[in-house]
Amino acid sequence: SAVISQKPSRDICQRGTSLTIQCQVDSQVTMMFWYRQQPGQSLTLIATANQGSEATYESGFVIDKFPISRPNLTFSTLTVSNMSPEDSSIYLCSATGTEYGYTFGSGTRLTVV
């Protein structure tokens, strides 16, 4: 199955600033996704990163706040824009597999102060 490198692993950011999270997959994958995980809770899907077209966002998430890029089949970025303390969370990217399920990055722990 694919291996995903996600960075940064953690960051502390000032409110009002933006952070871009990167995910690099070691093989071409059809679909990539971005999730958010609040402390002690399950994963919430933010959006599907589509190669060559705009991302597909889930209810409650908008492009202006979480712009996503997917320039090729191995790379994607998620930007958390104009951050507030409510954006403090763990952000995870994932990529599709078949019999091997979905592979996840190790996550980015974001703290907004």
Partner 1 sequence: SQKIEQNSEALNIQEGKTATLTCNYTNYSPAYLQWYRQDPGRGPVFLLLIRENEKEKRKERLKVTFDTTLKQSLFHITASQPADSATYLCALAESSASKIIFGSGTRLSIRP
Interface residues with partner 1 (CB under 8 A) are: 1, 6, 30-31, 33, 35, 41-45, 48, 92, 94, 96-107, 109
On whether the CB atoms of residues 91 and 105 are closer than 8 A, the answer is no
* Rama region for 28: left / alpha / beta (φ>0; ψ in -120 to 50; rest): beta
As beta bridge partners, residue 77 has 22, 69
Closest to partner 1 by CB, 8 vs 16, is: 8
| Helix intervals (H) in the chain | none
Closest to partner 1 by CB, 9 vs 82, is: 9
Least spacing, CB of residue 74 vs partner 1, in Å: 18
Rounded CA-CA distance 9/62 in Å is 24
Least spacing, CB of residue 5 vs partner 1, in Å: 12
Closest to partner 1 by CB, 19 vs 55, is: 55
Least spacing, CB of residue 60 vs partner 1, in Å: 13
Closest to partner 1 by CB, 83 vs 92, is: 92
The size of the chain, in residues, is 113
